[in-house]
Amino acid sequence: MGAFISENVIKNKRVLVTGAGGYIGSALTKALLSRIPEHILLLDSAERNLYEIDSFINEGNHDVSHASILGSVTDEALLHELFERYRPQIIFHAAACKHVPLMESNPFAAVLHNAIGTHMLVSAAMRYGVEQFVLISTDKAADPRSIMGASKRIAELAVLSWNRSGAQAKVMRLVNVIGAQGSVVPRFQQQIAAGGPVTVTHPEAQRYFVTLPDAVHLLLLVASPEIEKGLYVPKVAAPVKIMDIARHLIAGNPSIPAKNIEIVISGLRPGDKLTETLLSAQESIQESWAQKVFDDASLNDGALIQINSPSMEAEKLSGTMQTLASAVQSHRLEDLLREVRHLVPEYLSDSGLGESRIAAVAAGSQR
């Protein structure tokens, strides 16, 4: 079946994009501008990112009403103010803490922003009758080995718990987007420009990849009203070895001979997997979906596949989220991990989770 993107899904609608100044959020916002929304509400906690996307809209003479708000989805009072004033009908939730090793050292921030923040946003969306909610998740949420992945899995559970009839709550579990900040391609390019060495975590490490235009296209596709609520993954090509990417970029660099750039194996970082997976051991492709994957010839591997994924009742999830929020507020790591594992029993954490941050705080207090 050919893919479709209903232009009417955005036209004359009030759209909220969180993380609107980020790599995916800004590209998505730019794509939305041409689809004639009634209003775009941009929310981002990073001032520079928000300034850049706001400037793009203002200086490009885009005839679209918009408001740029500096703030976080963890600010409940702000969310109430925004929903009360702007009444968004469609939400694309791109805001997240994404860097795996950094979040291993900052587990409270990961859970606060990714899990609790998403639950707060979902709760507000339910309360104000939002028509569509699209969460941008990650393949690291499938059988997570990092706190980032576990926190994003909890975010997925928050969206999948949406129980308001008629609403379309959807999760798009993306793979690595080429060129995203902190991803391997720009990092390798920087290392090559500096003359090396290029650091690869493991010779057998491999990842799934998708281009930024394809990622945006998939997000708009999943927002089509013909796509029912639930969790989706992209149909992508086979995973690529990180070592092969490094060699390709080194060979393609015209300024420095490839023989002069060394590749160093640095070892897997905290929270890293050797390989990623799109589905957890508890998930499966929806049987009804097997024969109606939505393909699109304009995408390299573009298709949506609906996943049958475990979920929780909204009321039960809310109670656990309150306990999780208490652990974050008091910075009790043991309590935090207990509640995370309660929600995501398949999560296997690094034994050194949070130790580097705790050690740094302790060292600072002794000065």
Which residues does the annotation mark as catalytic? Answer: 140
275 DSSP assignment: B
The kind and range of the H/E element at 104 are helix 100-105
Q: How far apart are CA 277 and CA 147, in angstroms?
A: 16
Are residues 278 and 303 in contact, defined by beta-carbon separation less than 8 angstroms?
A: no
Q: How far apart are CA 92 and CA 136, in angstroms?
A: 7
Are residues 118 and 76 in contact, defined by beta-carbon separation less than 8 angstroms?
A: no
Token output for 48: 């520079």
Amino acid at 258: A
The kind and range of the H/E element at 170 are strand 168-174
Using alpha carbons, select from 14, 19, 10, 11 the residue that is nearest to residue 53. Answer: 19
The total of other beta-carbon atoms located within 10 Å of residue 67's CB is 14
3-class secondary structure, 289: helix
DSSP per-residue string spanning 154-169:
HHHHHHHT---TT-EE
Give buried/exposed letters for 337-367 (b at 16+ CB in 10 A, else e). Answer: bebbeebbebbebbeebbeebeeeeeeeeee
Q: Report angle CA 64, 180, 132 to the nearest 5 degrees.
A: 45
Q: How far apart are CA 171 and CA 182, in angstroms?
A: 23
52 DSSP assignment: H
The total of other beta-carbon atoms located within 10 Å of residue 127's CB is 12
Looking at the DSSP bridge assignments, the partners of residue 27 are: none
Are residues 137 and 122 in contact, defined by beta-carbon separation less than 8 angstroms?
A: no
